[in-house]
């Protein structure tokens, strides 16, 4: 009860301190409402300028060192999640994030340190440090293999240009800095939109508001304070933890590979969806390291949002004829659609509208028997009889 | 060789349970006489164990067996494994199996491995992989993604889901503080984290 | 201890229900208690224990004579539970410090704050609930090892058989589990004398 009150007070304080947050949330019920424009959204010069700004942001991801305090609030069907953090970033790829506990916890701070090669996540509640080798940068890794050798970040911008209406809606001062407010509105139904506040001096995002495909605000993240290019010692990127902490090596995710390579590496044929939501392209795939059954992970993007499609040939004989489709929302705000078809497990994850993911899932037609020699019906019958007799009834 | 405090601390639970060699037991016993820190660590573990012992022992609900009996009766074992059946049919079946084994293997190896299926049905691994792939995108918010991914790691670790991955190994050692201090004195080659994996 | 000779008796091989019941009567209470400590919920515990016994009955001919029946039975139960968690483990935030979303906003798990004032805690007087909640917050593998050892008195060796892992692993799981429990039950551990523990 006490904690609940504290949580509510913190939320209220946040809302009072940062009026833009409450403003954003109100627009939930009024998606058509827009803040007053300084420039017209349809002005082509405005669009050009906005695109140029986001291009600079994309090119400079990670290049700006800073020290900051940040708040993230996520709204999702079961409720609200908020977290506050202290972040220190040293260009190009050293980052330390400490998440502040939401109550008077005796534990230390959940801390994540990443140096571009490895991520270390200290979880005080479990007395565990998770270590995960970082995925070789998904985009950079793929750029040489792509025709034309264009880095994907540039491709992303081209896709964003095609799929989103990018405009500068206004400028605003926040946390003592002056920022452009840029809106990215989807041209195709079912995709989330975004509003970003880009610092005028540095190509850096100070605040992000994400809206679901229904126009409701789904998350906001903003800096409470920030200092650019501060002085800091490398020592702060060392993890300061109590002794006797368990270290857990997390499985490595392999990098993104082109689809044909993925098809070669997987020991099953990967059924592809016939329907891909408008604007999306396939970036490539990842071979998942799940042990019991092989799974392939295919990534699709429209430049701003992404969809992950996981496919696993599953248990084969076990769920014959029991094809199912289920959807669920995850606390992080993503939608998950799962389908079981001819023994295949199909899972789609994304922030796009559930109906799009469902339609995509339903357009996947896995082959009945994959990579197996054709069998005689008698053999089929006998094998299943013997299987029942000797393997299941134990 | 005398044990240092870190080593002793890592063995205290096993010491408490008398699950160590007599040599180790003796070494720890001696260490605890001299070392106040380890002694209080030991006491707190002992108390924790005692507290667990305070849990009550509920007995079986009354309907437990009647329900189970009904279930067993309503779903009888489909084949009667009578001796005659075993004697006559098994050899015959064995021959058939030998004949068509390759086909059976091809169809059922995967399923047959799992008496109780370990096939992952939870969505966390998928969402986690999605989130991690998102991290690299230019407009993604790494702070919130990191928060969600961290929560997922906690859930997955807590329900043994990581064990389903290739290359996952059960952590067997804790990171001794001494390793960390040693590392600190290393030359300036950048070390983001102060410890290395224990060998 | 189970009479293995009795199992070898043909009437058990036929696994008729009365014989089976007689055989597992020695373990049913223990099995239910372990299930209850793992799940934290009487209804779930009953289901888990029944399912384990049901599978043991159906798969009785799989049991190797001369090995420990008890270990076999508990292994079935623990595998069942792992399997169940994996199937239904949708966002069960098992960490005590993990915030959980509710319709009123963002709150911490409703586990009582054990780090507060000991007098306040004594007032709550629901020790069992708190121990159970603390157990519940442990990672599954630690919880299993601690429950089997500290509550049911299996040896490290037996646990390594039940959980299918090395003895060293059992040792570290129990140790880590207890350390986490100690933290979560801190007021009891350190103020032990005041509430009659220690």
Same domain assignment for residues C141 and C122: yes
Q: Chains touching chain B at 3 or more Cβ pairs under 8 angstroms?
A: A, C
pLDDT tens digits for range C34-92: 999 888 888 989 999 999 998 888 877 777 777 888 888 888 888 888 777 766 543 33
Strands A110-114 and A324-329 come out as unpaired
| pLDDT at A331 (0 to 100) | 63
Write out chain A's pLDDT in tens, 394 residues.
Answer: 555 556 556 555 555 555 444 343 333 333 344 444 444 445 667 888 999 999 999 888 888 999 999 998 888 766 677 888 999 999 888 899 998 876 545 567 889 998 878 889 998 878 888 888 776 654 454 444 444 444 566 778 889 999 999 999 999 999 999 999 999 999 999 999 999 999 999 999 999 999 988 888 889 999 999 999 998 888 888 887 777 788 888 877 777 888 888 888 887 888 999 999 999 999 888 887 665 556 889 999 999 999 999 988 865 444 444 567 777 766 667 888 988 887 788 889 998 888 999 999 999 988 764 444 444 555 555 555 555 454 443 3
What is the rounded CA–CA span in Å between residue B76 and residue C14?
Answer: 12
Of B97, B88, C84, B121, the residue nearest A388 (C-alpha): B97
Strands A217-228 and A245-249 come out as unpaired
Which C residues in the span 115-154 are in contact with B, Cβ-Cβ below 8 Å? 127-128, 131-132, 135, 138-141, 146, 149-151
Count: domains in chain C: 2
What is the rounded CA–CA span in Å between residue C151 and residue B68?
Answer: 25
Q: Domains for chain A: give ranges and CATH numbers.
A: 2-249 (2.50.20.10), 259-388 (3.30.200.100)
Q: Which domain holds residue C67?
A: 4-88
Under the banding of pLDDT at 50, 70 and 90, the label for residue B165 is: low
Cβ contact C105–A102 (<8 Å): no
Of C106, C139, C179, the CB nearest to A81: C106
Cβ contact A379–B103 (<8 Å): yes
Query: Mutate which of B14, B25, B48 to disrupt the C interface (most C C-beta within 10 Å)?
Result: B48
Q: Chains touching chain A at 3 or more Cβ pairs under 8 angstroms?
A: B, C
Contact C190, C73 (CB under 8 A): no
pLDDT tens digits for range C152-171: 889 999 999 888 888 888 99
Same domain assignment for residues C11 and C65: yes
Same domain assignment for residues C56 and C34: yes
Among B43-47, B68-72, C41-45, C61-65, which stretch is predicted with the lowest mean pLDDT? C61-65
| pLDDT at B70 (0 to 100) | 86
- Tokens representing A115 are 């140096």
Under the banding of pLDDT at 50, 70 and 90, the label for residue C32 is: very high
Under the banding of pLDDT at 50, 70 and 90, the label for residue C194 is: very low
Provide the phi-psi class of C183: left if phi over 0, else alpha when psi is between -120 and 50, else beta: alpha
Residue B176 clears pLDDT 50, i.e. is over it: no
Cβ contact C106–A105 (<8 Å): no
Under the banding of pLDDT at 50, 70 and 90, the label for residue B134 is: confident
- Tell me the domain boundaries of chain B: 5-52, 112-169
Same domain assignment for residues C123 and C174: yes
| pLDDT at B90 (0 to 100) | 57
Which A residues in the span 117-146 are in contact with C, Cβ-Cβ below 8 Å? 123-127
- Tokens representing A322 are 């029991």
C105: in domain: yes
The per-type count for chain B, helices as H runs and strands as E runs, is 8, 1
C94: in domain: no
C93: in domain: no
Residue B192 clears pLDDT 60, i.e. is over it: no
Provide the phi-psi class of B33: left if phi over 0, else alpha when psi is between -120 and 50, else beta: alpha
Cβ contact A4–C58 (<8 Å): no
Chain A residues touching residue B197 (CB < 8 angstroms): 131, 247, 249
Same domain assignment for residues C184 and C105: yes
Q: Determine contact: C101 vs chain B, CB below 8 A.
A: no
A62: number of Cβ within 10 Å: 15
Same domain assignment for residues C18 and C84: yes
Which A residues in the span 11-50 are in contact with B, Cβ-Cβ below 8 Å? none
Q: Determine contact: C47 vs chain B, CB below 8 A.
A: no
pLDDT tens digits for range B74-86: 876 655 444 545 5
Q: Which of C46, C65, C88 is the last residue of a domain?
A: C88
Strands A281-288 and A306-312 come out as unpaired
What is the rounded CA–CA span in Å between residue A348 and residue A336?
Answer: 6
């Amino acid at each position: 009860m006490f904690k609940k009150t504290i949580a509510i007070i913190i939320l209220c304080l946040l809302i009072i301190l940062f009026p833009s947050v409450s403003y954003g949330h109100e627009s939930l019920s009024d998606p058509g409402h827009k803040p007053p424009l300084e420039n017209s959204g349809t002005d082509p010069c405005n669009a050009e300028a906005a695109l140029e700004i986001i291009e600079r942001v994309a090119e400079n991801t990670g290049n700006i060192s800073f020290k900051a305090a940040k708040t993230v609030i996520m709204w999702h069907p079961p409720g609200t999640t908020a977290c506050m953090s202290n972040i220190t970033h040293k260009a190009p790829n050293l980052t330390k994030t400490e998440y502040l506990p939401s109550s008077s916890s005796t534990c230390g701070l959940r801390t994540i340190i990443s140096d571009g090669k490895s991520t270390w996540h200290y979880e005080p509640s479990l007395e565990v440090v998770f270590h995960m080798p970082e995925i070789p940068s998904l985009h950079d890794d793929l750029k040489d293999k792509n025709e034309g050798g264009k880095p994907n970040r540039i491709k992303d911008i081209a896709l964003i240009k095609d799929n989103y209406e990018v405009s500068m809606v206004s400028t605003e001062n926040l946390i003592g800095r002056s920022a452009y407010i840029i809106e990215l509105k989807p041209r195709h139904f079912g995709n989330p939109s975004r509003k970003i506040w880009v610092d005028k001096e540095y190509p850096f995002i100070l605040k992000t508001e994400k809206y679901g495909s229904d126009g409701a605000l789904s998350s906001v993240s903003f800096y409470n304070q920030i200092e650019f290019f501060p002085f800091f010692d490398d020592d702060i990127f060392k993890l300061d933890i109590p002794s006797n902490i368990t270290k857990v090596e997390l499985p490595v995710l392999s990098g993104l590979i082109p689809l044909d390579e993925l098809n070669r590496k997987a020991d099953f044929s990967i059924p592809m969806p016939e329907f891909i939501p408008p604007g999306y392209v396939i970036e490539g795939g990842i071979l998942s390291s799940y042990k019991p059954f092989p799974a392939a992970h295919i990534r699709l993007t429209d430049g701003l949002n992404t969809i992950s499609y996981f496919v696993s040939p599953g248990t084969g004989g076990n769920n014959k004829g029991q094809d199912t489709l289920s959807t669920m929302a995850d606390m992080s705000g993503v939608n998950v659609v799962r389908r079981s078809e001819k023994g295949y497990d199909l899972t789609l994850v994304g922030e796009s509208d559930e109906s799009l993911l469902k339609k995509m899932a339903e357009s996947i037609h896995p082959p009945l028997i994959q990579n197996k020699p054709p069998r005689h019906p008698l053999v089929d019958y006998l094998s299943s009889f013997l299987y029942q007799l000797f393997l299941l009834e134990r | 060789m005398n044990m240092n405090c870190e080593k002793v601390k890592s063995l205290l639970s096993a010491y408490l349970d008398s699950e160590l060699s007599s040599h180790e037991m003796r070494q720890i016993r001696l260490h605890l006489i001299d070392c106040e820190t380890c002694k209080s660590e030991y006491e707190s573990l002992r108390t924790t164990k005692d507290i667990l012992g305070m849990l009550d022992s509920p007995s079986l609900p009354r309907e437990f067996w009647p329900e189970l009996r009904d279930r067993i009766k309503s779903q009888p074992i489909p084949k009667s494994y009578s001796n005659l059946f075993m004697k006559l049919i098994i050899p015959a079946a064995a021959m058939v199996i030998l004949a068509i084994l390759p086909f059976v293997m091809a169809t059922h190896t995967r399923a047959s491995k799992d008496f109780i299926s370990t096939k992952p049905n939870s969505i966390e691994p998928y969402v986690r992989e999605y989130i991690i792939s998102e991290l690299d995108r230019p407009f993604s918010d790494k702070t919130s993604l990191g928060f969600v991914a961290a929560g997922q790691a906690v859930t997955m670790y807590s329900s043994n889901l990581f064990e389903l991955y290739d290359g996952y190994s059960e952590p067997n050692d804790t990171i001794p503080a001494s390793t960390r201090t040693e590392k600190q004195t290393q030359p300036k080659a950048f070390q983001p984290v102060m410890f290395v994996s224990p060998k | 201890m189970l009479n293995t000779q009795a199992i070898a008796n043909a009437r058990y091989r036929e696994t008729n229900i009365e014989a089976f019941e007689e055989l597992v009567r020695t373990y049913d209470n223990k099995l239910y208690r372990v299930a209850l400590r793992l799940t934290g919920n009487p209804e779930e515990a009953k289901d888990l224990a029944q399912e384990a016994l049901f599978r043991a009955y159906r798969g009785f001919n799989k049991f190797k004579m001369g090995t420990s029946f008890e270990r076999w039975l508990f292994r079935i139960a623990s595998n069942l539970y792992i399997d169940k968690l994996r199937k239904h483990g949708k966002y069960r935030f098992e960490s005590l410090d993990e915030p959980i979303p509710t319709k009123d906003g963002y709150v911490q798990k409703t586990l009582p704050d054990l780090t507060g004032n000991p007098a306040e805690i004594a007032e709550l007087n629901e020790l069992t609930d708190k121990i159970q909640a603390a157990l519940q917050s442990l990672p599954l593998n630690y919880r299993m090892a601690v429950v089997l050892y500290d509550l049911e008195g299996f040896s490290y060796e037996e646990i390594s058989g039940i959980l299918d892992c090395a003895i060293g692993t059992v040792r570290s799981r129990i140790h880590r589990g207890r350390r986490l429990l100690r933290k979560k039950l801190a007021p009891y551990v350190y103020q032990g004398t005041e509430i009659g523990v220690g």
